[in-house]
């Protein structure tokens, strides 16, 4: 099986490369805006790399020849930063996704495994999981959610118009691993926070709200789900998440902090003020998404893929926090380690990864 992976140097991409390296019958074509340097080591060596900016208008002409002979495409490429440049994010996330599908169809590739997200779902319950029939109308004030919904609708159109196209939509929870610590720090914390602050006992308080309850999944568990989707003749959406859900109390326990009840509007206002002031890179829509996104029921992934997560969500969070505190990363441009601070440059600007 020959598999092409967009965004292959990132968080999920790196985990998927690790997993596929153990499959002797799988050949991997890695596609990234900035491929790893030769000799970067595992899991990047042994991959056929191509530099591709999927948002560029020339992408279908340039990418289609590289996809000839490929059995399936795993589309992971996605931009979260620069959060102050909405046009650039749409260019990569939505226009780029269309370019990937157009390139596949030109090359005669009919199977797509797409990295969707819990962020595509409409607001929902925090006390039970929803299945894959929950509406994918998103959370309106989250640009991340808006883009995920736009790609879901685009894939609907492609599936209606191209009967041979088989699409698998992996609706994952937050994907964490220690090697993504530096990247996640750059995306969501920014350069003003010393990374050592995330060690246990350094953060005094954590906000608590009943709506701020979300799931996570370890990157290696997500990679296993992607492999199973590649191996099986399945289509449609699959919820992918670990247990238990994360909340303020659980985060506080890991950080050795105490919780303080805070209304969601107050948290959003604080995020908005600090983001507009360029003090941190997380745009306020992430608060809306955290409060709105439902918990997910992953029974379909268990029934049709045979997937169950191996990692406990508490341990996954602990691994991520350690990775962020230590500036952990991997030898790829997207996951490069950091120095004493979690990022450099003006928060929410630039083009990381």
pLDDT value of residue 258: 95
pLDDT value of residue 344: 54
Answer yes or no: are the C-beta atoms of 344 and 189 closer than 8 Å: no
pLDDT value of residue 343: 52
The angle, 0 to 180 degrees and rounded to 10, between the axes of the packed helices 285-292 and 264-276 is 150
| Whether residue 250 is found in the same domain as residue 260 | yes
pLDDT-derived band at 327, boundaries 50, 70, 90: confident
Question: Whole-number mean pLDDT of the chain?
Answer: 94
C-alpha triplet 87, 89, 92: angle, nearest 5°: 110
Which of 349, 343, 9, 54 lies closest to 193 in space, CA to CA? 343
Instruction: Look at 350 and 302; give whichever has higher pLDDT.
Output: 302
Gap between the Cα atoms of 89 and 198, Å rounded = 28
Q: What is the mean pLDDT of residues 255-269?
A: 96
C-alpha triplet 210, 214, 220: angle, nearest 5°: 160
Gap between the Cα atoms of 343 and 183, Å rounded = 9
pLDDT-derived band at 37, boundaries 50, 70, 90: very high
Gap between the Cα atoms of 156 and 223, Å rounded = 24
pLDDT value of residue 90: 98
CATH number of the structural domain spanning residue 144: 3.40.50.720
Question: What are the start-end ranges of the H helices in the chain?
Answer: 11-20, 59-67, 86-90, 96-107, 143-161, 181-188, 219-231, 248-255, 264-276, 285-292, 299-300, 313-326
Gap between the Cα atoms of 305 and 40, Å rounded = 32
Please tell me the total count of domains within the chain. 2
Given a cut of 60, whether residue 341 has pLDDT beyond it is no
Q: Give pLDDT tens digits for 238-254.
A: 999 999 999 999 999 99
| Whether residue 126 is found in the same domain as residue 193 | no
pLDDT value of residue 30: 98
| Whether residue 138 is found in the same domain as residue 30 | yes
Q: What is the mean pLDDT of residues 286-305?
A: 98
| Whether residue 137 is found in the same domain as residue 278 | no
Beta bridge partners of 238: 170
Percent of the chain with pLDDT strictly greater than 70: 96
| Whether residue 169 is found in the same domain as residue 200 | no
| Whether residue 64 is found in the same domain as residue 199 | no
Given a cut of 70, whether residue 340 has pLDDT beyond it is no
CA-CA-CA-CA torsion for 289, 353, 42, 172, nearest 10 degrees? Answer: 20
Q: Give pLDDT tens digits for 166-220.
A: 999 999 999 999 999 999 999 998 888 887 888 888 889 999 999 999 999 999 9
| Whether residue 130 is found in the same domain as residue 7 | yes
Q: What is the mean pLDDT of residues 251-259?
A: 94
Percent of the chain with pLDDT strictly greater than 90: 89
pLDDT value of residue 97: 98
| Whether residue 156 is found in the same domain as residue 225 | yes
pLDDT value of residue 61: 96
| Whether residue 56 is found in the same domain as residue 199 | no
pLDDT-derived band at 342, boundaries 50, 70, 90: low
| Whether residue 14 is found in the same domain as residue 161 | yes
Answer yes or no: are the C-beta atoms of 33 and 8 closer than 8 Å: no
pLDDT value of residue 339: 64
Cα radius of gyration (the chain): 19
Which of 252, 263, 255 lies closest to 322 in space, CA to CA? 255
Given a cut of 70, whether residue 350 has pLDDT beyond it is no
Which structural domain range is residue 208 located in? 178-214+245-293+312-326
Given a cut of 80, whether residue 146 has pLDDT beyond it is yes
In the block, residue with structure tokens 């990418």: 63
The torsion region of residue 241 among left (phi > 0), alpha (psi -120 to 50) and beta comes to beta
| Whether residue 100 is found in the same domain as residue 230 | yes
Q: Give pLDDT tens digits for 77-100.
A: 999 999 999 999 999 999 999 999
Q: What is the mean pLDDT of residues 120-135?
A: 98
Residues 6+ apart with CB under 8 A from 184: 11, 176, 320, 323, 324
| Whether residue 102 is found in the same domain as residue 220 | yes
Secondary structure of 58-96 as H, E, C letters: CHHHHHHHHHCCCCEEEECCCCCCCCCCHHHHHHHHHHH
pLDDT value of residue 196: 80
Instruction: Look at 352 and 70; give whichever has higher pLDDT.
Output: 70
Gap between the Cα atoms of 39 and 139, Å rounded = 42
Given a cut of 60, whether residue 289 has pLDDT beyond it is yes
Given a cut of 60, whether residue 353 has pLDDT beyond it is no
Is residue 277 a part of any domain in this protein? yes
Q: Give pLDDT tens digits for 98-118.
A: 999 999 999 999 999 999 999
Is residue 65 a part of any domain in this protein? yes
Secondary structure of 116-175 as H, E, C letters: EEHHHCCCCCCCCEECCCCCCCCCCCCHHHHHHHHHHHHHHHHHHHCCCCEEEEEEECEE
pLDDT value of residue 195: 77
């Amino acid at each position: 099986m020959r598999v092409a992976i967009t965004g292959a140097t990132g968080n999920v991409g790196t985990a998927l490369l690790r997993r596929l390296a153990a499959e002797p019958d799988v050949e991997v074509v890695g596609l990234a805006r900035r491929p790893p340097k030769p000799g970067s080591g595992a899991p990047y060596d042994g991959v056929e790399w191509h530099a591709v900016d999927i948002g560029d208008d020339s992408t279908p002409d340039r990418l289609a020849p590289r996809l000839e002979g490929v059995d399936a495409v795993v589309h992971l490429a996605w931009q979260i930063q620069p959060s102050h440049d909405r046009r650039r994010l749409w260019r990569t996330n939505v226009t780029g996704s269309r370019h990937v599908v157009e390139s596949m169809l030109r090359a005669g590739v009919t199977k797509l495994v797409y990295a969707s997200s819990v962020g595509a779902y409409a607001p929902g319950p925090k006390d039970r999981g929803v299945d894959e029939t929950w509406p994918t109308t998103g959370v309106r004030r989250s640009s991340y959610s808006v883009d995920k919904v736009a790609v879901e609708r685009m894939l609907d159109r492609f599936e209606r118009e191209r009967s041979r196209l088989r699409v698998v939509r992996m609706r994952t929870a937050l994907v964490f691993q220690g090697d993504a610590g530096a990247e996640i720090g750059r995306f969501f914390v920014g350069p003003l926070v010393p990374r050592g602050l995330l060690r246990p006992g350094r953060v005094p308080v954590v906000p608590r709200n009943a709506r701020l309850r979300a799931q996570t999944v370890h990157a290696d568990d997500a990679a296993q789900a992607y492999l199973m989707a590649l191996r099986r003749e399945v289509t449609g959406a699959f919820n992918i998440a670990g247990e238990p859900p994360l909340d303020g109390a659980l985060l506080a326990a890991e950080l050795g902090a105490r919780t303080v009840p805070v209304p969601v509007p107050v948290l959003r206002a604080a995020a908005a003020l600090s983001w507009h002031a360029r003090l941190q890179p997380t745009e306020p829509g992430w608060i809306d998404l955290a409060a709105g996104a439902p918990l997910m029921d992953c029974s379909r992934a268990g029934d049709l893929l045979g997937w169950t997560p191996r990692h406990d969500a508490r341990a996954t969070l602990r691994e991520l926090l350690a990775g962020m505190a230590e500036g952990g990363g991997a030898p790829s441009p997207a996951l490069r380690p950091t120095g004493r601070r979690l990022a450099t440059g003006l928060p929410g600007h630039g083009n990381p990864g």
